[in-house]
Amino acid sequence: MDKIDEQDGNYNPEDASEKNIVEYDFNTAGKLIRSEPISTKDFWEYQNFIGRP
């Protein structure tokens, strides 16, 4: 992931690039069918969703 300076908030949340976390999609047989980079904004939204009631 790109360097993030969270204290200053100077990062682009729509920064989907090859350096970021990659989203993987698998079919029912477990074979990779698609992979793509996700933005920092999407990453944090996914993190906040997981584990919440």
pTM for this entry: 0.39
Better pLDDT: 2 or 50: 50
- pLDDT (tens digit per residue) in 13-52: 666 676 666 778 888 898 888 888 887 778 777 777 665 5
Is residue 5 within 8 A of residue 11, CB to CB? The reply is yes
